[in-house]
Structures are given as C-alpha cells and as structure tokens.
Amino acid sequence: MTAVASKRGSGWHYPAAAGALLLCMTHAPTARGDCASCLARVSSYVAELDELLSNERNWITPYFDLNERYFPFRDCEADALLEEVRRSRFIRSISYHSGTKQYFIKFTSDEVVVGFAYYVSEKKSDADHAGWVNK
C-alpha cells in the first residue's frame, strides 16, 4: 500500500490521507487499485490547485493546463473524493443533485473560480471549468 499525503498549512497530514484510502478500500474492495489511484490524482490536483489559487492572479491558462492534466477523475468512491477536496483552503461549495446523483464542487480565490462535477453512480467527473470571478 502506498501512502498519499496532502500538504496543508505547515505540516503533512498522513493520517487523514490514509483514512481516505481506508474509506475507499472499505467501500470498494474489488477495485482498490482504481480507487486508490483516483484518490492520489485528486489529492495531487487539490495540492496543485491550492498553490495556483494562492499565487496565480494574472493568467487563467495555468488553470486550464492543470485541469487538462488531471481530468477526468474515474473510479473514486464519492465519500473519499469529498474528503480529499475538503482539504483545500479554497473549497467554497459542495452541492448534491439527488436526481442525477451528482456532486458539484467549486473552489474560489478572490480572482478565480474552478470547479467540476462528479457523477456518483458512474464514478467519474465531468465539466471541469476555470474562470475569473465576477466582481
């Protein structure tokens, strides 16, 4: 088993990342590799996105490039994915549409909004976007 770490604040949070992986393995014992791989991608995405949202205020292209590198997310258990995205300093909203069984996840800085949707039943993300905040 490989550990996934998420840097937040001044230290590494291995127990939280390990907990997300355990949650993933508990819910889908036959798809451990796929779920763990998805969570590792989400964790890396959130870390890189937080770095961009902290520092990049003049260009939108780096956000498009980041989304192009990481999307789509596939085979994550929804609870574990949500646990990973909640680690972001810039998480602004997580909403759920019960009809489509879809989560809408949005991150926002003062200048930029980034988001994506995750279909629970299909275990895949869709419609990633990045844009300027309307002030």
CB within 8 A of 78, min separation 6: which ones?
103, 118, 120, 123
39, 76 in Cβ contact below 8 A?
yes
- Categorize the per-residue pLDDT at 15 as very low, low, confident or very high, splitting at 50, 70 and 90: low
| Residue 3 within any structural domain of the chain | no
Closest CA to 42 of 94, 4, 96: 4
Q: What is the pLDDT of residue 7?
A: 39
| Residue 94 within any structural domain of the chain | yes
| Residue 70 within any structural domain of the chain | yes
Q: Work out the average pLDDT over 78-90.
A: 98
Q: Is residue 1 pLDDT above 70, yes or no?
A: no
d(CA 70, CA 52): 14
Residue 60 is given by DSSP the state: S
Instruction: Report the domain count for the chain.
Output: 1
Q: What is the pLDDT of residue 9?
A: 47
What is this structure's pTM?
A: 0.75
| Residue 42 within any structural domain of the chain | yes
The residue range of the domain holding 103 is 12-132
